[in-house]
Amino acid sequence: MTGICEGRVVIVTGGGRGIGREHCLEFAHQGAKVVVNDLGGEVDGSGSSTGPAGEVVDLIRSSGGEAVANGDDVSSWEGAQKLINTAVETFGGLDVLVNNAGILRDRMLVNMTEEEWDAVIKVHLKGMFAPCRWAATYWRERTKAGETNDARIINTSSTSGIFGNPGQTNYGAAKAGIASATWIMAQELGRYGVTCNAIAPGALTRMTENLGMGNRPEPKPGEFDAASPANVAPLVVWLGSPESKDITGRTFLVMGGTISVAEGWRRGPTAQQDDRWDPAKLGSVVPDLVAQAQPITTMRG
């Protein structure tokens, strides 16, 4: 296979199903060697199986590509290190890390348990941080040895994190953290030849079928399926290619045939005086600032 990622070594976490599966297939189609990481668990994170990752590997190999399955837990410090080592030991290096693994434990705040909070934060936030930490160490050591990198980190955020969605305090907090961490990592890792970007994808998968996405009408034969997870992969693969070397620190919204650049926190209307504010005077100041500010963007626009 030849394409824009010819010869690049790519890790995709959560690569056995849904959006991650499509990432793996498209990377392979574009010439990459792929490490398909997946525990094979349920949507809520319970259980495990090597089946999904192995099936994706078989598909890639049957098409003439190169791939290997990995079942390490990316939210484990040791598991994340083993994952990075799998790429280096199997294919001789690492060029792209796509952090896609995730679970859901949706609950309104007043009913959410400590375990539901901890589980989602661990898989999404630590499951992004730990692989990034070990990948960054690998790329830094290459730089210290006089070698160069043309590497990529692509993290998976969500509109639930950057816009907010009731019932997903845990998931949204993790996804907002991922978007912020992406920008910070972009600033830290540029010196090592690494770019860091994030996506907030929209697609019909196991994780979204119960959140309203499953109510979408089935596309007619031959009609473009805007909800297909395959629509997310082209942007991710391009971000993983050498062509994207000048793009870093960005979060992209992608669904169907639509790609947008998310515009994050920025300083808006400002009031200033050369003294400490008197709380009694802020009643006329703060409402005026809010009135001048852009409306808050939500999941519905």
Structure confidence at residue 299 (pLDDT): 80
Tens-digit pLDDT profile for residues 169-179? 999 999 999 99
Number of domain units in the chain: 1
Structure confidence at residue 221 (pLDDT): 82
The number of helices, as runs of H, and strands, as runs of E, in the chain is 9, 8
Q: What CATH number should be reported for the domain holding residue 98? A: 3.40.50.720
Structure confidence at residue 48 (pLDDT): 42
**Domain around 93:** 9-261
Q: What is the pTM of this model?
A: 0.90
Structure confidence at residue 288 (pLDDT): 97
Asked whether the beta carbons of 152 and 240 are under 8 A apart, the reply is yes
Structure confidence at residue 78 (pLDDT): 98
277 Cβ contact partners less than 8 Å away, ≥ 6 residues apart: 285
In a domain, 277, yes or no: no
In a domain, 279, yes or no: no
Structure confidence at residue 50 (pLDDT): 59
In a domain, 293, yes or no: no
In a domain, 224, yes or no: yes
In a domain, 25, yes or no: yes
Q: Which of 33, 157, 160, 171 is catalytic?
A: 171
- C-alpha–C-alpha distance, residues 228 and 27, integer Å: 17
Q: Which of 75, 157, 158, 241 is catalytic?
A: 158
158 is catalytic: yes
Residues in the chain, overall count = 301
Q: Which residue positions in the chain have pLDDT lower than 70?
A: 1, 40-50, 205-216
> Encoding tokens for residue 6?
């010819």
* Identity of the residue numbered 131: P
171 is catalytic: yes
DSSP secondary structure, 231-262, as one string: GTHHHHHHHTSGGGTT--S-EEEEETTEEEE-
Q: Which of 75, 157, 160, 175 is catalytic?
A: 175
In a domain, 35, yes or no: yes
What phi and psi values does residue 179 have, to the nearest 5 degrees? -60, -45
Structure confidence at residue 121 (pLDDT): 97
Percent of the chain with pLDDT over 70: 92
In a domain, 257, yes or no: yes
Structure confidence at residue 205 (pLDDT): 58
3-class secondary-structure state, position 194 = strand
In a domain, 61, yes or no: yes
